[in-house]
Structure 1
């Protein structure tokens, strides 16, 4: 096949979505932890050579990452070879990982010696060491207390696994067998993704595949622009507060002004509180389409049009303003482990602002957070086990 038509574009998009589903299904069936098997706190994506997500699982995993841009993280590795698999959980390396328990891996997909795309994903690990079991607590005050940080490095190079990474993990976490079992599941997942994508590329041909991937992103962008273009121009403000039990004990203000101009929107978080002394900070790095601040927009767009394709193209008409040193863009070194609670508030203020622009068409906001309980038990072999429940 040498050209992409509207019909073949839909076929390609479905094939790629099925490949992402296969990655997610493999991960769920082979992972060891309840985080993956029960709560689906993981992601799998297929991204362009530049790092833009163009295919996501349609049934499994966390929906936050559908429009993720892996580009800054991919750039941390100088030279990719066939058979490489890379790993990191460092939130300050590319600002893709959003707290230390999230271990990301990515694998280049080659076809006829040419780089075609990447298969990527993450798992929330039950524990990565640090000051407290499970590595997360609002009482922590700096990222150094939140466990092991793995800089971007090749976990597998040319098909040969680097044993030092596994040794490093084993020496620094409380549940090494579970962590390494989950890591093996991640490796299996990206290997499945690689095989699926090579089959798709073989079917379409590399030039048509690369053209089609860009067309998938363009289609999602056009859909998003059509939705946004129907919203009245103007500025709409909304703010809410996250309960804060740091020594100061004051609620943290998350403020948003939504600017709608034609087919584009700006989410301006100016007016949000300075970064906190607890771990509710968000490590966005100021990236204007960071998933933690764009997830609410994705939900709104999908509510307005459930036929919307969810990928990085969906977010092209949007940008966020994230003042440095605030709770939505904390400085390096800040504690960030409980950033999900603050992210929930960014979703609420996004929904609240859009509700002013479209009265009666936007659903009510979520409750504003979640309750997470970790239960430590002792297995018959005497080793600790922490299944996570509640949310």
Structure 2
């Protein structure tokens, strides 16, 4: 395909999937989607290969969505799909790893011919069950499990499924509103893709997707071939809710001849009894992100560029969760997956990696009754620590590598829930020292506007194991979780009293490079 023609068509594809994501955010009900961007949108060809993704979103959602389309279609005969059909699931092992993340896949037709799919995954406010924390003992305590079903069939709502969902969640209006946003964004993608075909005289996008995916895969393999071959080892240790220590180990094997990288997690911690276990798709999502962003981040992220990166996951491993492992807080471990990989790659491309950062975002969910006795249940809201430093730049403060999710503004939260923030500021000096210092964490304080007891559900990490520096850089400062000024270790839902004040001090990132000693006169 001619390079100029390809660039024009590719720009159109990116425009379609970006508009799809903007529509989803504009229509969504929940602050976690609308304000924080906890979502993913992708455009797939008729063979369920992800061709393009929206820039907005998180790696855990985007790269697991890349596999979700094919996983869903293993349970549905594609030849039986009709215009107006919409598929849905929140099966953790098919998509993004826990029940809160619902994937919607909308077939795109040109006339009566299936030419692709529009997919989206977003974090929903509530899915029933335990909530966002890690306290459930198996998957069935964690909420409503939606198998692969048709949410719409030939444009008609599946009323039975809608009724089942509505009766199993605490905030049905928000959930149904967000589902409607996902469906609407798929309709927009369908309209825009058909308009592209009209504009350029295309019957489908198969030749275009072949060209994009093949070029992306070849370019990724070429970038791997520039690296020295061999196996390089990395390790990262951190603490999780309840105080348990988790170690992730990786052996990163670079096959320079084939242009492939294999990441083996042998030796990593075993399955946890808490809901922090990670399904393979989520592990794959963050592992591929770490490698892709290090090697050639300018390449499109699609089925082609992801193909040369392979994983080996041992049995009974915390990053290879099997049924019926609890997984609701899988991000607490999953967002640490890049660090042992980067520690291994630091031996190969030290100028392209980052030191360890705060890791997982600190998530908070609140539940109770306000001063007038009205019930409330918040969606999850997030707070980041400091990012690790880079070889040539300091770490960014209050930005949590590797996720792309933002914090919901405090003004939005105070307007939506009976919550008052007492402080939100950078924790100066919490980043590790070095030639390039790590990013600072932040201090966030809040209390509830209520006269009644309320429930706190939160999953902080790195309260004892600080983020490590690279190449002689100092570690960042570990985090603190305080209730009324006293440190506490939480492992599940906690009863709080009216007037209790929560203070969260998120970890600082590790430094990069040793500080040079001052010259003696």
TM-score normalised over the length of structure 2:
0.69
Mapped partners of 2:23, 2:250: distance in 1? 39
Match of 1:31 in 2: 28
For residues 111-140 of structure 1, the C-alpha deviation after alignment (integer angstroms, 9 at most, x for no partner) is 132111100101101110003xxx221222
The alpha carbon displacement at 1:297 in A equals 3.4
Match of 1:64 among 32, 49, 60: 60
Mapped partners of 1:74, 1:220: distance in 2? 24
Match of 2:276 among 261, 270, 280: 280
* 1:341-360 matched pairs, under 5 angstroms: 341-360=332-351
Structure 1, unpaired ranges of 5+:
285-289
Q: Tell me whether 1:267 sits opposite 2:263 in the alignment.
A: yes
The alpha carbon displacement at 1:366 in A equals 2.5
Structure 2, unpaired ranges of 5+:
384-521
Match of 1:251 in 2: 245
Match of 2:223 in 1: 227
Match of 1:87 in 2: 88
For residues 40-81 of structure 1, the C-alpha deviation after alignment (integer angstroms, 9 at most, x for no partner) is 1111111122222111112x2223344412212222122211
For residues 154-190 of structure 1, the C-alpha deviation after alignment (integer angstroms, 9 at most, x for no partner) is 0100111111122111100011111111111111111
Q: Tell me whether 1:44 sits opposite 2:36 in the alignment.
A: no
Match of 2:99 in 1: 100
Mapped partners of 2:223, 2:348: distance in 1? 13
The alpha carbon displacement at 1:387 in A equals 4.5
Kept after mapping to 2: 8 A contact 1:66/1:312: no
Mapped partners of 1:242, 1:73: distance in 2? 34
Kept after mapping to 2: 8 A contact 1:83/1:159: yes
Higher relative contact order (CA 8 A, sep 6+): 1
Mapped partners of 1:146, 1:326: distance in 2? 20
Aligned length: 375
Structure possessing the higher radius of gyration over alpha carbons: 2
What secondary structure sits across from 1:43 in the alignment? strand
Structure 1 residues 381 and 47: alpha-carbon distance in aligned structure 2, compared to 1, 3 A threshold:
farther
Structure 1 residues 317 and 390: alpha-carbon distance in aligned structure 2, compared to 1, 3 A threshold:
closer
Relative to total residues, which structure has the larger helix share, 1 or 2? 1
Match of 1:12 among 9, 20, 34: 9
Q: CA RMSD in A?
A: 2.0
What secondary structure sits across from 1:372 in the alignment? strand
Structure 1 residues 208 and 164: alpha-carbon distance in aligned structure 2, compared to 1, 3 A threshold:
closer
Mapped partners of 1:314, 1:150: distance in 2? 30
For residues 289-310 of structure 1, the C-alpha deviation after alignment (integer angstroms, 9 at most, x for no partner) is x353343433443344342111
Q: Tell me whether 1:301 sits opposite 2:297 in the alignment.
A: no
Match of 1:190 among 168, 172, 186: 186
Kept after mapping to 1: 8 A contact 2:96/2:282: no
Structure 1 residues 154 and 208: alpha-carbon distance in aligned structure 2, compared to 1, 3 A threshold:
closer
Q: Tell me whether 1:334 sits opposite 2:334 in the alignment.
A: no
Match of 1:120 in 2: 119
What secondary structure sits across from 1:360 in the alignment? helix
